[in-house]
Structure 1
């Protein structure tokens, strides 16, 4: 089960979706094994791609319309998916965030490897200075901070992550680009 919050409403109306049930309602011979949320530029319909498998090992991807709560069919590649950066792994910010216990890209999450190695997540970052109410949700409960990509450009997101990953109270964080040969420039 996953809980979805509607950011378009003032009180963040939420609903719970049982992935097992929506897959079964569409095709009872399959069961969910993973999911991914996607946002599209030209058609702002939000969907969840549900990776499914049957007892014979056949794997498919079903598309769940978040608004209707129903599987619409199998995944079809769309040209308007948000695939453009920012690509943090071409900068030293990627490693900087990993050293603190975070994965940054088109979202912010905790590195599961970091916790498994017994390391402590560094919470001395601007994100938790500005939004202390989400610190426990992200660091202990495994929540993921995912921007609403139809409202935030890749450049704005990069700048925001750069600020949020800086130590509390510091406005700037120096990072460098990394070329295709792994050299810092």
Structure 2
């Protein structure tokens, strides 16, 4: 591979020098910051998944699985399914999907997954548009629909720029309740 098409390998990859507080307060899902033209080394993705699987889990169940899609044609099909999912005119989730979501494990793993990616100078956008077409995505990727619920579709890419800052948020005093609501 030549330098223009090879992307960054795990060996020469620069990890961001962020404190824990900077990492926690500047993590965003910003699609326009994803560099979709620069390939991501599979070893970097594997490292991010290793970090994500260090997340705490209820009852130490570790019920996660990751399907990493690198095939351009499959990625195109997934993008089409995502667009179809977010374009549905009815409720974003059917009664069956709501029932399946009710038994979904906690979301902490997704938080750790994002922090792991950002610490490796990669970004990702957690999307749920494919949940409306979950059965179709399961068929495309060979996921056993009846026994495995998908949590999200997470595009991962190198970041455009490395300047991160906290976002505007509702003031803490408006969301914190002491001792009772």
Per the TM superposition, whether the score is higher than 0.5 is no
Higher-helix-fraction structure: 2
Higher-strand-fraction structure: 1
| Structure having greater relative contact order (Cα 8 Å, sep ≥ 6) | 2
